[in-house]
Homo-oligomer: A and B are copies of this chain.
Amino acid sequence: MGEFELIDRYFRRDGAPSPQVPLGIGDDCALLAPAPGMQLAVSSDLLVEGRHFLSTADPRRLGHKALAVNLSDLAACGARPMAFTLALALPSADEAWLAGFAQGMFALADEHGCELAGGDTTRGPLAICITVFGEVPAGATIRRNGAREGDDLWASGTLGDARLSLEAFRGTLSLPAPLFEQTRLRMEMPQPRVALGQALRGIATAAIDVSDGLLGDVGHVLRASGVGATIEAREAIALLAARVNARPGDLPDDAAQLDCVLAGGDDYELAFTAPPSAREAVLEAALNSGTAVTRIGRIEAAPGIRVLDADGRAITRRFASFDHFA
């Protein structure tokens, strides 16, 4: 199977050009046509085997995740997904793998009205580079630099389960089979909070998607905004979904659970800030987008992040965030 047959068979789909993508796969460039008054939000992520996923990963789940991590960046900015490009390096043209990968990717793309507009394929160690395009009204982008003293700090969905699953894969802990499957699904099929991101336009003062770990990612918001934060460990630890179904002894101790929540990474939830006066609006945005949100702390003038235990005492041990070159 040649390169162009591969593209035709797995990645080209029928259908007339759409108003937002007037020219798709098959020319030197694709064309995007944002509506008048809209700006284009762009994000690019590169996933490498052994680093971002295991060689044994189900190709359907991998296709989903490769797009999900990019859609998550659009969500954090409040942008509506339009299109994406896919650049793929493959060790070989494995048809079963390609069919599964395309199926998982397009299922998520269709869910978000996001069209594959073009890309590149080459032979090489498995690597997946997706660049995603979304549209956002000029001036309405939710940025990282808008958090203000007194704002609430919120998190969407659940946090820490992906890391729990990764540690089980690594063998540093063991989980009962049902809990392992549950957490594994969180690691392999993250749900980008696209609807929530758009619903938070005009409400959230700052947002980021949690990819490297909550503390590290919130840290980016705080530095960009020139503020600090306090996080309640009790609120945070409750975000670990595995706690809901766990029996006594199923999970590592609370300190290890808190590590997963605060510094786990691979969550693809949104962390965002909003003034207390907007609490009703935040909860309504969450309801309308079908996404749970939890208030986990507050923004303060003093730089840095403080994590408080149930008694209001600062937890002083270090939580390491994920850094590809640390």
Contacts and interface: CB of A to CB of B under 8 A. Distances in A.
Interface stretch (A126-134, A173-181, A284-292, A310-318): A126-134
A166 B326 CA distance: 37
A111 to B, nearest CB: 20
Contact of A129 (B27, B77, B87, B133): B87
Interface in A109-139: 117-125, 127, 129, 131, 133-134, 136, 138
Contacts of A44: 85-87, 118-120, 129, 131
Given A3-B325, A39-B33, A89-B127, A122 B79 contact: no
B87 A122 contact: no
Contacts of A41: 29-31
A48 B124 contact: yes
A90 B326 CA distance: 13
A306 interface: no
Nearest to A121: B324
A76 B30 CA distance: 12
Contacts of A40: 31-34, 40, 133
Given A43-B118, A324-B122, A48 B138 contact: no
Contacts of A33: 39-40, 138
Nearest to A73: B28
Nearest to A5: B325
A121 B134 CA distance: 21
Closest 7 A/B residue pairs (Cβ): A48-B124, A129-B129, A46-B87, A29-B41, A28-B76, A131-B131, A44-B85
